[in-house]
């Protein structure tokens, strides 16, 4: 049998990133937290936490913390099933969700705000490129994910939410400087590009589809949706932006679309565990209803 009292302490250390943070969260002393974790590790015969800054879980520790998260999610259903509808939860229910930065900057906050206010659920979000959010789910670091990856995940269900529409664009000054002779494969190989990070393949996919070339060697990496847009406006490079964020700048002429085939749609999916959890079922239904009102999620801001 698992020792859930000890696992709660392990989960707190991982969540807070330190024994001191876990102690504050649980109303214990750091030495008591350390003793409980060490005692449980000795009973299991395996390390659960890597003592670093911040503290990180081992593979076993991550699996056990993911199990605790699922148990708490299921426990959140108890007040709904009990006659004591006002029963308090032993721990606040926190949903760990991996979500892409562009969704965070557009539709996702509005979609989640109404649900979290009504349900009392807390969010712990992991920002990642939309093609890699599901990796956090497979590792057990999160319970659900917004992803562009339609590949099935063991033990999970996947629901298509809609798509984000992007536009390839650059500042007017940048276009005059680097695309004076037109939007040709050669000009795209000489014009500096902006990517979110080194895992961002959006610009590469658009270039391959429209120009038949790869991303140039001159790439700036800007891991912020707002920063990405600001650097494009400043003329640092070209890139793909959610249309809803770029639309006003396009109307003002501060940004120009690149070529005639400048749009790109990225399908987004909701991936969550196949649990008989009212909270997760309600959230999935809420997201589906919210996203069904539009074909371009970025316009839901």
pLDDT tens by residue, 128-158: 776 677 788 877 788 899 988 888 788 889 9
Residue 247's SS3 state is helix
Tens digit of each residue's pLDDT (9 = 90 or more) over 277-289? 888 899 999 999 9
Residue 11's SS3 state is helix
pLDDT of residue 90: 53
Q: How confident is residue 88, by pLDDT bands cut at 50, 70 and 90? A: low
- Please tell me the chain's helix, strand, coil percentages from 3-state DSSP, rounded to the nearest 5: 45, 20, 35
- The answer for residues whose C-beta is within 8 angstroms of residue 71's C-beta and 6 or more apart is 4
186/178 Cα distance (integer angstroms): 10
- The answer for residues whose C-beta is within 8 angstroms of residue 31's C-beta and 6 or more apart is none
Among 86-90, 145-149, 294-298, the minimum mean pLDDT is found in 86-90
pLDDT of residue 2: 86
Which residues lie across from 272 on neighbouring strands? 157
Q: How far is CA 128 from CA 88, 133, 136, 159, 279, in A?
A: 33, 5, 9, 19, 24
Evaluate if residue 23 carries a pLDDT over 90.
yes
pLDDT of residue 131: 67
- The answer for residues whose C-beta is within 8 angstroms of residue 281's C-beta and 6 or more apart is none
- The answer for residues whose C-beta is within 8 angstroms of residue 1's C-beta and 6 or more apart is none
HSE, side-chain direction, 13 A CA sphere, residue 269: 19
Map tokens 């670091």 to a residue.
141
pLDDT of residue 67: 87
Evaluate if residue 91 carries a pLDDT over 80.
no
For range 65-73, the mean pLDDT: 86
pLDDT of residue 257: 97
Burial of residue 107 (CB within 10 Å: 0-12, 13-18, 19+) is: buried
Evaluate if residue 300 carries a pLDDT over 90.
no
Measured torsion, CA atoms of residues 233, 238, 239, 245, in degrees rounded to the nearest 10 = 20
Q: What six digits make up the tokens of 2?
A: 């698992």
Q: How many CB atoms lie within 10 A of CB 217?
A: 9
Map tokens 């990856």 to a residue.
149
Q: How confident is residue 185, by pLDDT bands cut at 50, 70 and 90? A: very high
HSE, side-chain direction, 13 A CA sphere, residue 273: 22
Among 116-120, 135-139, 269-273, the minimum mean pLDDT is found in 135-139
Contact in structure between 104 and 297 (CB atoms under 8 Å): no
HSE, side-chain direction, 13 A CA sphere, residue 165: 13
233/36 Cα distance (integer angstroms): 53
Among 74-83, 226-235, 267-276, the minimum mean pLDDT is found in 74-83
């Amino acid at each position: 049998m698992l020792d859930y009292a000890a696992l709660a302490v392990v989960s707190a250390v991982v969540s807070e990133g330190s024994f001191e943070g876990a102690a504050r969260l649980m109303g214990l002393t750091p030495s008591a937290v350390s003793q409980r974790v060490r005692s449980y590790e000795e009973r299991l015969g395996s390390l659960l936490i890597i003592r670093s800054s911040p503290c990180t879980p081992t593979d076993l520790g991550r699996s056990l913390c993911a199990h605790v998260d699922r148990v708490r999610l299921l426990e959140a259903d108890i007040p709904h099933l009990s006659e004591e509808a006002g029963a308090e939860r032993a721990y606040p229910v926190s949903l760990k969700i991996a979500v892409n930065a562009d969704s965070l900057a557009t539709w996702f906050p509005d979609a989640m705000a109404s649900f979290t206010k009504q349900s009392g659920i807390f969010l712990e979000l992991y920002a990642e490129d939309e093609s890699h959010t599901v990796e956090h789910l497979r590792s057990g670091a999160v319970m659900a994910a917004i992803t562009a990856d339609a590949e099935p995940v063991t033990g999970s269900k996947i629901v298509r939410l809609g798509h984000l529409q992007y536009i390839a664009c650059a500042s007017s000054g940048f276009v005059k400087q680097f695309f004076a002779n037109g939007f040709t494969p050669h000009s795209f190989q000489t014009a500096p590009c902006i990517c979110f990070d080194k895992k961002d393949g959006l610009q590469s996919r658009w270039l391959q589809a429209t120009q038949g070339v790869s991303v140039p060697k001159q790439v700036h990496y800007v891991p912020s949706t707002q920063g990405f847009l600001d650097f494009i406006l400043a003329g640092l490079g070209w890139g793909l932006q959610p249309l809803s964020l770029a639309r006003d700048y396009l109307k003002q002429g501060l940004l120009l679309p690149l070529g005639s085939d400048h749009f790109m749609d990225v399908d987004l999916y909701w991936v969550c565990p196949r649990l008989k959890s009212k909270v997760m079922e309600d959230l999935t239904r809420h997201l589906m209803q919210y996203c069904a009102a539009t074909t371009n999620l970025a316009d839901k801001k």
